Amino acid sequence: MENLRDPRLSSSYWALRATFIAVPILAGLDKFTNLLTYWPNYLSPAFGRLLPMSPSAFMQVIGLVEVFVGLVVLSRATRVGAYIAMAWLACIAINLASMGLYDIAVRDLGLAVGAFVLARLDEVRAGVPIRSHARRTADATT
C-alpha cells in the first residue's frame, strides 16, 4: 500500500477527476446554448425518429444528464459518476458510429476508457479490495 502515496498516482487521479467534472458540466450546459456546436446535428436521425420530442429538446435533457454526471464525479461518489460517464460515453459513441462519424466515436471511446481509469483509481484510493477469480482461488486454497 506504500505505492498509494506515489504522487504520480495522485496527479493522475486528480487530472482525470477534474476532466470528468469540468467536461460533462460544460458540455451539458452548452446543450442549452449551442455555442460549441449545434448539438442536435449529433443525434442519429434513426434514434431521433424514436423520440417523443424534438432533437433540440432531447439534447437539453442530455445536457441535464451530463451536468448531473459531472456533479456526481465532484461529490464523494466519484467512482459511481465515473462508471456512469463511461457507459454514457459508450452510448454516445454508438450513436455517432451509427451516423458514420467514426473519428468522433473513437474519441468518445477513448474518453470512456479514461472514465473507467478514474473509477478504478478511485477504488484504489478508497482501498476497495481486489475481487478477481485468481484472488478467490488463492484464498480458497490457503
* pTM, 2 dp: 0.84
Give residue limits of the domains in the chain: 2-141
Write out pLDDT tens, residues 108-140: 999 999 999 999 999 988 877 777 655 555 555
The string of pLDDT tens digits covering residues 24-57 is 999 999 999 999 999 999 999 998 999 999 999 9
C-alpha to C-alpha distance for 70 and 27, rounded to whole angstroms: 10
C-alpha distances in Å from residue 55, one per residue of 8, 32, 90, 121: 42, 12, 20, 36
